[in-house]
């Protein structure tokens, strides 16, 4: 089936038609498949993967390799959506040439259709250079998480006249540089509405009110995958953390009680097939325990027991009922004693007052 990919032109056209633009983050193939089948027109492979997928406290440790791998998996799972990839911290700030190299990797290796970078006037020339080279660029203003240490935390931006004017100016600079859209994060709704009305390119809000041309949400926030944290700007459309945890608890219990797998989930030898071994019942718990116990007879334990008994390898092998070379192999870790021989070793250990 020939699937038509959403383009940056289609995204800009949505603004002109007054059609609102939903966007969501995704970081892996399965999530991308689900989002794409749901009809999402645009997916962001955000550096927020550092927090929700890799366990970092911020986006700053995320590397270009992290983004490239995640982007490639998302693109493979989303044949319809436009996939935008973040350029991580310090992969574009040094120079337009550095940004060009980073964008090349994200697009050539990851398959991204556009890149996103944070900042206004400080990156306007870089955006222009990228666009001139044929790279589709999405801007990002307001709260810029890569500047978290500089701005002093996750704070709403543009709350006073001066900072709001700067945000408006930066948005116009990004548009003039060729950006096809701009994310507005943690910006007062009134300021975001003014910027949206001024620009000809779409604004995508996250914590920026309902007047933006589109909205973007983090996958984990929208689906309730992080039980103990919900940003003010996020709405949970499901509470999957509890559902997933309950499912895993049920699986654990079914395995422990031998309810899984059932016969419906089991393969059998075809009827009438002749086999050279006897198919018996599942092993008894005592047999399973004995197998587990076999790992307790390490080479060091066997050697220590023999020395406690003051036996040579030849004498010890006679007591256990094996050839001397087998006992030597046990002590060198080349192989392990059988269940029958483990039982003999247990008896010898008990005779010396040692726990088997």
CATH number of the domain within which 182 lies: 3.20.20.60
In this structure, how many other beta carbons lie within 10 angstroms of the beta carbon of residue 248? 10
Residue 57 placed within a domain: yes
| Residue at which a domain ends, from 207, 240, 273 | 240
Residues 96, 119 contacting (CB under 8 angstroms): no
Does residue 143 share a domain with residue 39?
Answer: yes
Average pLDDT for the chain: 92
Average pLDDT over residues 3-29: 97
Range(s) of the domain holding residue 314: 284-351
Distance between CA atoms of residues 87 and 98, nearest Å = 11
Query: 296 with 231, same domain?
Result: no
Domain check: are 195 and 302 in the same one? no
356 in any annotated domain: no
Q: Which secondary-structure segment (H or E) carries 140?
A: strand 137-142
∠ Cα 35 82 96 (to 5°): 130
Question: Is 195 within 8 Å of 184 (Cβ atoms)?
Answer: yes
The predicted pLDDT at position 213 comes to 98
Task: Clarify whether residues 94 and 170 are in a common domain.
Answer: yes
What is the total count of domains within the chain? 2
On whether both 224 and 324 belong to a single domain, the answer is no
Q: Which of 220, 240, 260 is the last residue of a domain?
A: 240
Is residue 122 in a domain? yes
Lowest mean pLDDT among 84-98, 137-151, 188-202: 137-151
Residue ending a domain, choose from 240, 263, 296: 240
Residues 312, 183 share a domain: no
Residue-wise pLDDT tens digits, 153-179: 888 999 999 999 999 999 999 999 999
pLDDT beyond 90 at 269 = no
- If asked whether residues 319 and 171 sit together in one domain, one would say no
Query: Active-site residue numbers?
Result: 185
Which pLDDT value is given to residue 290? 56
The verdict on residue 259 lying in a domain is: no
On whether residue 275 sits in a domain, the answer given is no
**Residue 139: enclosing H or E segment and its boundaries?**
strand 137-142
* pTM exceeds cut of 0.75: yes
Tell me the mean pLDDT in the region 96-100.
Answer: 98
Omega cis (within 30) before 267: no
- CATH number at 324 reads 1.10.260.40
* Residue 350 banded pLDDT, cuts 50, 70, 90: confident
**Shared domain check, 340 and 217:** no
* Same domain, residue pair 220 and 87: yes
Q: What is residue 272's predicted lDDT score, i.e. its pLDDT? A: 78
pLDDT given for residue 150 in this prediction: 86
Q: For the residues 184-201, what does the mean pLDDT come to?
A: 98
């Amino acid at each position: 089936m020939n699937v038509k990919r959403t383009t940056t032109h289609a995204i800009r056209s949505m603004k002109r038609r007054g059609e609102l633009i939903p966007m969501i983050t995704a970081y892996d193939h399965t999530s991308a498949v689900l989002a794409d089948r749901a009809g999402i027109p645009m997916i962001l492979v955000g550096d927020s993967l550092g927090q929700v997928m890799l366990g970092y406290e911020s986006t700053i440790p995320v590397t270009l390799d992290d983004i490239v791998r995640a982007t490639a998996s998302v693109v493979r799972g989303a044949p319809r959506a436009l996939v935008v990839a973040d350029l991580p911290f310090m992969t574009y700030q040094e120079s337009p040439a550095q940004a060009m190299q980073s964008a090349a990797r994200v697009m050539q290796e990851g398959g991204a259709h556009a890149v996103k970078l944070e900042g206004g006037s400080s990156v306007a020339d870089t955006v222009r250079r990228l666009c001139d080279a044929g790279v589709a660029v999405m801007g990002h203003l307001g709260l810029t998480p890569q500047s978290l240490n500089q701005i002093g935390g996750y704070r709403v931006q543009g709350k006073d006249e001066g900072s709001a004017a700067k945000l408006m100016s930066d948005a116009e600079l990004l548009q003039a540089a060729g950006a096809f859209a701009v994310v507005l994060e943690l910006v007062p709704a009134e300021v975001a509405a003014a910027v949206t009305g001024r620009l000809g390119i779409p604004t995508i809000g996250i914590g920026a009110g309902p007047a933006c041309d589109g909205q973007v949400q983090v996958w984990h926030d929208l689906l309730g995958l992080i039980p103990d944290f919900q940003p003010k700007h996020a709405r949970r459309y499901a509470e999957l953390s509890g559902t997933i945890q309950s499912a895993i608890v049920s699986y654990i219990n079914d395995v422990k009680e031998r309810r899984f797998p059932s016969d419906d989930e089991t393969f059998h030898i075809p009827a009438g097939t002749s086999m050279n071994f006897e198919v018996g019942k599942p092993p008894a718990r005592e047999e399973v325990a004995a197998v587990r116990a076999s790992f307790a007879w390490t080479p060091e334990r066997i050697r220590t027991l023999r020395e406690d008994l003051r036996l040579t390898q030849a004498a010890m092998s006679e007591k256990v009922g094996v050839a001397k070379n087998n006992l030597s192999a046990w002590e060198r870790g080349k192989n392990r004693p059988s269940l029958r021989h483990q039982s003999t070793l247990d008896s010898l250990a008990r005779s010396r007052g040692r726990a088997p």
